[in-house]
């Protein structure tokens, strides 16, 4: 294993960015705080049921995941949170692994932060000026403070590092969901005590030099919708189309997806990733900011092996970009049937979400799996499917209809709208803090915010759904992605029931880049003190050979953490550089044009 | 196999060749070769029969592999609780672990707890290293499996050493403590240190936010951990945070071994004003600390440290040497193990924090010592029941009292150790000329200061014959001046005459309980928890090493044994926990700080709690739940229970006050210390 890694490193590059910058004379200056995102942080068991004996302080999440195979149901039970409170279920305590080990490697050999840490260490970073703000990523952000004091601990950690490193402000590097977690933190820390951290206004200005968001999901990700809707993403849908029986099999009592859905629906944090900003940001029935996106998917390395299996002839050399004549209606994040994803909106039935009726329909054999779907009558399922197409705004209504308990629980912690008047006192509530469209940035004119993300990878943006064939059986997820739907052309943005746009495989460009490109640019109402923002994009280049591992120029959501250019940027800022010194904006995508199209009052 | 066959054939051929000149006939030669052919064929058919040997060998290997694989499979498929069933089937039901028991009693997490690990048990990891340590980034160099020691021993020694002069990092090497609970929960896989205590605390509701491992680099001097890593500042802020986020409940501190001294240092540091101290103000301790529960604390140092610094050996090594004399001293393979160990450990300032403090007043002079009289032949019956083990047992101590001069910590020769002081002829070594440097270049890669001492100097050391704790310091200054100069800037070993003297504001006095006052915190409690009933090193009989150039010139004389005495293999033992003598662990709480003394002006209450050692009954029990040994005591159920009760809110009185098995109070009385 170790030798293997050596080999990879040798193939990678003659010199790692850390070594290179060290020879240029860079040394550790500002303390660095790493904020991991969803899923990548490890979780360990502190108290469990009898089935989890001997797992005390062993990792349940992250690491080798051996427990999934040994005792899958026990494992799922321990990872679930409480249905109603969103906190620990009685008798179970699962906590975040603390320290750098929390998210350096997700699984053995699969790095997350390890490469960045190693390079930071080369220029002199070590335990006293490098901190991993590990938190339980299943909880809603405010609950991490209520249960674990995670925010208080982060605050005190930053204060100590600031003082003990000679009053040098910290550089914060959040990744993925960590970006909105940290957004929550900077509001929390300046809010007075009962709800906030009591750091007083000016705390951020005093302690933070720069926030370098990596692949930030500021406006959420459409993936979260499909996850909540049917517990599947592109990969799962694809798997289903290959081997239809495996996932849906209920012999052996597997019900894999149902179990996954039940567990993940208890996690409030997923709701934080539901697209925010509604139709203004994500587009409506007829309009979307990405309109006219050039899809040359075949040219790029898709994760889907199907492109090589089925389209052997065509996928070889198509280099020309293909402009979709009829613009793809990305605004319809979920549509039922390919037709309804393309028809002009006037031909679609309008449906008021208030029409939905819930009737309790608990059929006992399926009761074991709690997904709230079993409480829906078949008529209402039918009705949801009748609705044909849903935008980011109506989607929330559908979710509220389909999973009322979950949404009720988590909407106490997250909000997905756009503020009309930011001075409204209601926005002092913590549920608005992680939504960049409903909070003001702190008064810290010297602070810098960077949005760093990969581009050039097809990223899920909207879905074509169908009703599950077997909804009369005990199949409690009534919808699934219609993976048989393909575009008219192999260059179409529609593949396997999913419409793609540019992004880093998880986060579309508009979610990652808009705030830095427009929402906070200059002095806006979201950024009253005029904090300077920078957009830094990294074009994805797949690794040339297998030896390169996950590549040094990757733009993929997690692999970008090994991207040499990105690491260099982070290192330079940590060693004292400001945004303009590392080159200001660096843009490959259409983010500026897309931002122009978004009609948001600033 | 084919090789063997061929050689046999050629043997035959050559033997037939040698016959050729005698016969001198081609025909016969032909016949001969034919004969050889026939023989060959016979050989082949024979070897065909033998071929099964290889075959069975392969089979054997195959079988082993398959069995191993099967066992591994079974092991993995086995329910996790199986070993426990097996153990219970053999030894009867285990007592409930204290966590379960106390949870049933309704105890819940209340005060945040802070662990302060001791020397050696904390993990260290690499952050920057030389070429030879490539690929070890953030891997443990110390603790864990120690795999690197075997793979690249010299590289390992190089990285573990500190700088000779500064006592900080050598250039280009950064080795840092592992942080978090993992730093010292297990020292090596399966060898617990804090893990049992952590697991039990978790049962009553403790978790990451209420438990904190104050990991520090135990190689550094205490003040240097702050200078280099800001460790003390981080402990301070973490304690403050834990107290604040737990509703103002004060912290319970649990230091172990050297961590005890480290925390003494911390308490002084945190209240001292800013440039040298932490600037916490004079009431910091009383505001933030409920109790300090010292486990096996070497308040007054340990004699083992002397042997370690003097000749890089302790009882165990001396015994190993006696068994296999050639092995350790072997420099044929350029191993020089001890020399390397000595070179490395002498760069660690912290080892000097454990040198016996208080001089002859505490440790005894030439003719007297507080422990006077050796208790040997101690009979003990094993007691597996924690309840009765707790209740004062008055059996044991079948003593044959024989006067032993424990005050003579190092003596050259057994006769010297036993002779009355008037008969010992001593020649002062202090002014002795050290003589020429006898090191030749071949020893150069091993740096110990012994190479700077000539034959004359070594003789002079031996001729002084007997060293008490006071003169030992002079001895160490003589044989290792550079090391002691470095250490002397960070530690002090004396007794203060006047604690108000402003010089005692310097940090080098902070870790010496005899030269500092406890903080002003009348509500705080200090516990001394330690094991008794194990022979513990107290004084040594030394001899000169058989002269060889690269050796350490002194070694423990393992041939020195005495019947009916505590002298074993050149080491005089007293009661203790195998590492720390009772005197060192208990004196401060039994007398030095008892009541309002000048060392304890605010009258902080102190408690002595001893745990009598009983070894585990069988192998399945592992390291036992009643152990009193220095590290194994961390798994002692009675001790864990005490700690948990205090953490859940009890005071020392609630625990039952003092619990004493040894003669610590009698011994403490004999020490004439102004209080």
> What DSSP assignment string belongs to A130-156?
EEE----TTS-HHHHHHHH-HHHHHHH
Phi (first) and psi of residue A173, to 5 degrees? -125, 90
| Catalytic hit among A104, A248, A502, A504 | A504
Computed on alpha carbons and rounded to an integer, the radius of gyration of chain B in Å comes to: 31
A-chain CB neighbours of B133 within 8 Å are none
A-chain CB neighbours of B230 within 8 Å are 128, 160, 164-165
B88: pLDDT confidence band, cut at 50, 70 and 90?
A: low
Count residue pairs from A and B with Cβ separation < 8 A. Answer: 80
Q: What pLDDT is recorded for position A363?
A: 44
Q: What pLDDT is recorded for position B48?
A: 54
B-chain CB neighbours of A117 within 8 Å are 138
Query: Higher pLDDT residue, B137 or A67?
Result: B137
Low-confidence ranges of chain A (pLDDT < 50): 1-13, 246-247, 249-253, 297-325, 353-354, 358-370, 471-473
pLDDT tens-digit profile of B341-353?
777 878 888 888 8
Q: What pLDDT is recorded for position B73?
A: 84
Among A141, A231, A133, A124, CA closest to A175 = A133
B419: pLDDT confidence band, cut at 50, 70 and 90?
A: confident
Phi (first) and psi of residue A44, to 5 degrees? -130, 160
Q: What pLDDT is recorded for position B56?
A: 86
Question: Is the CB of residue A209 less than 8 Å from the CB of residue A170?
Answer: yes
Rounded to 5°, the CA angle B591-B197-B394 comes to 45
Element (H, E) at A93: strand A93-96
Q: What pLDDT is recorded for position A233?
A: 59
Query: Higher pLDDT residue, A231 or B219?
Result: B219
Rounded to an integer, what distance in angstroms lies between the CA atom of residue A196 and that of residue A430?
A: 8
Partners of residue A334 on adjacent β-strands: A390, A463
Question: Is the CB of residue B564 less than 8 Å from the CB of residue B329?
Answer: no
Whether B24 has a pLDDT exceeding 60, the answer reads no
Q: What pLDDT is recorded for position A7?
A: 45
A176 in active site: yes
pLDDT tens-digit profile of B495-525?
988 888 888 889 989 999 999 999 999 999 9
Q: What pLDDT is recorded for position B385?
A: 41
Q: Which percentage of chain B shows pLDDT scores above 70?
A: 75
Whether B422 has a pLDDT exceeding 80, the answer reads no
Minimum CA–CA partner of A120 in chain B:
B127
Q: Is B170 strand, coil or helix?
A: coil
Among A100, A103, A148, CA closest to A127 = A100
Rounded to an integer, what distance in angstroms lies between the CA atom of residue B59 and that of residue A150?
A: 58
State how far the alpha carbon of A382 is from the alpha carbons of A237, A360, A465, A482, in Å.
21, 15, 13, 16
Contact assignment for B245 to A152 by CB distance below 8 Å? yes
Pairing of strands A532-539, A93-96: unpaired
Q: What pLDDT is recorded for position B325?
A: 53
Between A283-297, B346-360, B470-484, B633-647, the lowest mean confidence (pLDDT) is in A283-297
Determine the distance in angstroms separating the CA of A165 from the nearest CA of chain B, rounded to an integer.
9
DSSP, res B519? P
Total residue count of chain A as it appears in this document: 602
- Residue B405 structure tokens: 């001069």
Mean pLDDT, rounded, of chain B: 79
User: B168 Cβ partners below 8 Å, 6+ apart?
Assistant: B162, B220, B224, B227, B228
Phi (first) and psi of residue A96, to 5 degrees? -70, 140
Q: In A487-563, which ranges are continuous DSSP H helix?
A: 509-514
What's the complex ipTM?
Answer: 0.81
User: B67 Cβ partners below 8 Å, 6+ apart?
Assistant: none
> Is the dihedral angle over the CA atoms A75, A79, A82, A83 positive or is it negative?
negative
- Which of A100, A117, A126 shows the shortest C-beta gap to B174? A126
B8: pLDDT confidence band, cut at 50, 70 and 90?
A: very low
pLDDT tens-digit profile of A383-435?
777 767 888 888 888 888 878 888 888 888 999 889 888 888 888 899 899 99
Among B481, B492, B469, CA closest to B411 = B469
Question: Is the CB of residue B511 less than 8 Å from the CB of residue B116?
Answer: no
Query: Higher pLDDT residue, B434 or A289?
Result: A289
Catalytic residues of B: 257, 577, 630
Rounded to an integer, what distance in angstroms lies between the CA atom of residue A75 and that of residue A595?
A: 43
pLDDT tens-digit profile of B556-587?
887 877 766 678 788 888 888 888 999 999 99
Q: What pLDDT is recorded for position A316?
A: 36
Minimum CA–CA partner of B196 in chain A:
A56
Buried b (16+ CB within 10 A) or exposed e, B288-305: bbbbbbbbbbbbbbbbbb
State how far the alpha carbon of A353 is from the alpha carbons of A358, A400, A402, A551, B557, in Å.
12, 9, 11, 46, 92
Q: Count CB-CB contacts under 10 A for residue A315.
A: 17
A-chain CB neighbours of B207 within 8 Å are 46, 93, 95
Among A324, A342, A319, CA closest to A332 = A342
pLDDT tens-digit profile of B155-211?
888 888 898 888 889 988 999 999 888 888 888 887 888 988 999 999 899 988 899
Computed on alpha carbons and rounded to an integer, the radius of gyration of chain A in Å comes to: 23
- Which of A98, A122, A153 shows the shortest C-beta gap to B180? A98
* Residue with token string 């094993």: B382
Among A578, A392, A385, A549, CA closest to A10 = A549
Best-predicted range by mean pLDDT (B119-123, B245-249, B388-392): B245-249
Q: What pLDDT is recorded for position B270?
A: 93
B-chain CB neighbours of A153 within 8 Å are 209, 241, 245
**What ranges make up the beta strands (E) of A548-600?**
none
B14: pLDDT confidence band, cut at 50, 70 and 90?
A: very low
Contact assignment for A95 to B207 by CB distance below 8 Å? yes
Q: What pLDDT is recorded for position B549?
A: 54
User: A590 Cβ partners below 8 Å, 6+ apart?
Assistant: A290, A293, A502, A509
Question: Is the CB of residue B514 less than 8 Å from the CB of residue B674?
Answer: no
Mean pLDDT of B374-380: 48
CA A298 to the chain's CA centroid: 25
Q: Which residues of A sit within 8 Å Cβ distance of B?
A: 2, 5-6, 46-47, 53-57, 93, 95-96, 98-101, 104, 117-118, 121-122, 124, 126-128, 148-149, 152-153, 156, 159-160, 163-165
Q: Which residues of B sit within 8 Å Cβ distance of A?
A: 80-81, 127-128, 134-135, 137-138, 174, 176-177, 179-182, 185, 198-199, 202-203, 207-209, 229-230, 233-234, 237-238, 240-241, 244-245
Question: Is the CB of residue A79 less than 8 Å from the CB of residue A61?
Answer: yes
Contact assignment for B176 to A127 by CB distance below 8 Å? yes
* Residue with token string 């008794």: B532
Partners of residue A44 on adjacent β-strands: A59, A95
């Amino acid at each position: 294993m170790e030798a293997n890694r050596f080999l990879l490193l040798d193939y990678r590059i003659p010199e790692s960015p850390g070594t290179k910058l060290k020879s240029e004379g860079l040394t550790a200056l500002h303390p660095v705080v790493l904020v991991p995102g969803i899923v990548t942080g490890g979780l360990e068991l502190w108290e469990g049921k009898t089935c989890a004996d001997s797992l005390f302080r062993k990792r349940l999440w992250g690491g080798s995941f051996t427990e999934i195979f040994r005792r899958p149901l026990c494992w799922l039970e321990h990872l679930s949170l409480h249905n109603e409170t969103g906190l620990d279920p009685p008798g179970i305590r699962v906590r975040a692994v603390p320290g750098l080990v929390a998210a350096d490697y997700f699984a053995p050999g699969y790095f997350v932060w390890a490469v960045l840490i190693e390079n930071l260490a080369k220029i002199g970073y070590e335990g006293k000026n490098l901190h991993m703000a590990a938190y339980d990523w299943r909880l809603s952000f405010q609950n991490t403070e209520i249960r674990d004091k995670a925010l208080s601990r982060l605050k005190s950690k930053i204060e100590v590092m600031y003082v003990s490193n000679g009053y040098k402000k910290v550089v914060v590097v959040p990744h993925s969901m960590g970006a909105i977690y940290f957004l929550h933190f900077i509001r929390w820390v300046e809010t007075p005590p009962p709800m906030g951290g009591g750091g007083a206004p000016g705390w951020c200005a005093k302690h933070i030099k720069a926030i370098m968001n990596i692949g930030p999901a500021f406006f959420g990700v459409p993936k979260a919708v499909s996850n909540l809707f049917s517990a599947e993403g592109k990969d799962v849908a694809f798997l289903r189309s290959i081997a239809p029986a495996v996932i849906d099999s209920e012999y052996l009592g597997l019900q894999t997806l149902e179990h996954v859905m039940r567990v993940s629906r208890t996690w409030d944090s997923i709701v934080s990733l539901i697209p925010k900003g509604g139709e203004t940001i994500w587009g409506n029935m007829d309009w979307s900011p990405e309109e006219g996106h050039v899809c040359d998917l075949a040219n790029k390395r898709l994760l889907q092996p199907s492109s090589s299996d089925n389209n052997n002839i065509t996928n070889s050399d198509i280099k020309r970009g293909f402009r979709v004549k009829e613009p793809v209606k990305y605004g319809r994040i979920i549509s039922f049937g390919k037709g309804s994803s393309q028809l002009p909106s006037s031909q679609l039935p309008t449906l008021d979400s208030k029409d939905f009726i819930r009737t309790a329909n608990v059929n006992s054999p399926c009761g074991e799996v709690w997904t709230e779907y079993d409480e829906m009558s078949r008529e209402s399922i039918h009705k949801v499917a009748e609705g044909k197409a849903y935008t980011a705004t109506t989607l929330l209504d559908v979710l509220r209809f389909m999973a009322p308990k979950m949404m009720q629980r988590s909407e106490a912690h997250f909000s997905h709208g756009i503020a009309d008047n930011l001075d409204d006192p209601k926005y002092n509530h913590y549920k608005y803090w992680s939504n960049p469209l409903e909070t003001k940035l702190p008064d810290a004119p010297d602070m810098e915010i960077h949005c760093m993300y990969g581009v050039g990878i097809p990223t899920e943006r909207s879905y074509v759904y169908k009703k599950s064939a077997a909804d009369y059986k005990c199949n409690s997820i009534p919808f699934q992605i219609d993976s048989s739907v393909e575009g008219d052309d192999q260059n179409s943005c529609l593949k396997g029931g999913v419409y793609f746009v540019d992004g880093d495989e998880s986060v579309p460009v508009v979610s990652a880049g808009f705030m830095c490109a427009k929402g906070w640019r200059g002095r806006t109402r979201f950024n009253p003190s005029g904090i300077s923002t920078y957009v830094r994009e990294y074009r994805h280049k797949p690794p040339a050979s297998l030896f390169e591992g996950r590549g040094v120029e990757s733009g993929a959501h997690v692999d970008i953490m090994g991207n040499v250019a990105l690491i260099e940027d982070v290192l330079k800022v940590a060693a004292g550089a400001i945004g303009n010194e590392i080159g200001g904006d660096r843009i490959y995508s259409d983010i500026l044009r897309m931002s122009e199209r978004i009609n948001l009052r600033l | 196999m084919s090789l063997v066959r061929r050689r046999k054939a050629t043997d035959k051929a050559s033997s037939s060749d040698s016959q050729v000149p005698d016969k001198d006939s081609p025909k016969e030669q032909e016949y001969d070769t034919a004969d050889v052919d026939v023989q060959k064929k016979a050989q082949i058919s024979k070897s065909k029969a033998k071929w099964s040997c290889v075959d069975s060998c392969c089979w054997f290997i195959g079988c082993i592999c398959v069995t191993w694989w099967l066992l591994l499979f079974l092991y993995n498929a086995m329910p996790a609780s199986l070993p426990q069933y097996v153990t219970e089937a053999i030894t009867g039901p285990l007592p409930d672990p204290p966590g379960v028991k106390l949870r049933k009693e309704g105890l819940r997490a209340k005060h945040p707890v802070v662990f302060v690990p001791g020397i050696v048990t904390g993990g260290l990891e690499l952050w920057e290293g030389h070429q030879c340590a490539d690929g070890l980034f953030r891997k443990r160099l110390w603790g864990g499996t120690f795999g690197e020691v075997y793979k690249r021993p010299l590289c390992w020694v190089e990285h573990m050493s500190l700088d000779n002069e500064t006592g900080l990092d050598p250039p280009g090497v950064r080795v840092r403590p592992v942080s978090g609970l993992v730093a010292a929960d297990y020292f090596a896989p399966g060898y617990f240190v804090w893990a049992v205590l952590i697991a039990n605390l978790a049962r009553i509701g403790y978790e990451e936010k209420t438990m904190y491992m104050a990991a520090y680099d135990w190689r550094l001097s205490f003040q240097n951990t702050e200078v280099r890593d800001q460790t003390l500042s981080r402990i301070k802020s973490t304690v403050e945070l834990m107290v604040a986020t737990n509703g103002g409940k004060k912290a319970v501190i649990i230091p172990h071994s050297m961590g005890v001294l480290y925390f003494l240092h911390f308490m002084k540091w945190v209240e001292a004003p800013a440039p040298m101290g932490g600037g916490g103000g004079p009431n910091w301790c009383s505001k933030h600390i409920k109790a300090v529960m010292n486990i096996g604390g070497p308040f007054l140092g340990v004699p083992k440290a002397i042997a370690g610094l003097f000749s890089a050996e302790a009882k165990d090594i001396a015994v190993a040497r006696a068994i296999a004399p050639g092995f350790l001293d072997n420099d044929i393979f350029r191993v020089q193990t001890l020399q390397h160990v000595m070179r490395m450990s002498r760069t660690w300032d912290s080892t000097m924090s454990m040198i016996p403090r208080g001089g002859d007043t505490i440790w005894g002079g030439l003719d007297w010592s507080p422990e006077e009289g050796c208790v040997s032949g101690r009979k003990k019956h094993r007691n597996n029941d924690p309840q009765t083990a707790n209740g004062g047992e008055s059996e044991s101590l079948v003593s044959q009292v024989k006067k032993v001069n424990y005050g003579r910590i190092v003596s050259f020769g057994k006769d010297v150790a036993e002779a009355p002081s008037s008969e010992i002829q001593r020649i002062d070594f202090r002014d002795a000329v050290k003589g020429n440097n006898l090191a030749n270049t071949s020893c150069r890669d091993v740096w110990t200061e012994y190479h700077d001492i000539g034959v004359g100097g070594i003789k002079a050391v031996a001729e002084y014959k007997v060293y008490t704790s006071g003169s030992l310091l002079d001895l160490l200054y003589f044989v290792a001046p550079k090391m002691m100069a470095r250490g002397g800037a960070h530690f002090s070993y004396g007794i203060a005459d006047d604690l108000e003297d402003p010089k005692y504001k310097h940090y080098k006095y902070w870790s010496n309980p005899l030269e500092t006052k406890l903080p002003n915190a009348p509500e705080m409690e200090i516990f001394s928890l330690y094991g008794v009933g194990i022979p513990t090193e107290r004084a040594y009989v030394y001899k000169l090493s058989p002269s060889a150039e690269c050796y350490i010139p002194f070694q423990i004389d393992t041939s020195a044994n005495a019947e009916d005495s505590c002298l074993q293999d050149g080491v005089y033992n007293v009661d203790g926990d195998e590492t720390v003598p009772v005197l060192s662990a208990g004196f401060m709480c039994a007398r030095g700080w008892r009541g309002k003394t000048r060392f304890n002006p605010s009258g902080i209450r102190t408690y002595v709690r001893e745990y009598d050692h009983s070894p585990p009954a069988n192998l399945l029990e592992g390291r036992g739940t009643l152990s009193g040994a220095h590290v194994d005591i961390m798994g002692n159920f009675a001790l864990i229970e005490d700690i948990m009760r205090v953490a859940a809110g009890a005071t020392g009185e609630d625990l039952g006050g003092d619990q004493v098995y040894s003669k610590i109070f009698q011994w403490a009385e004999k020490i004439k210390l102004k209080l």
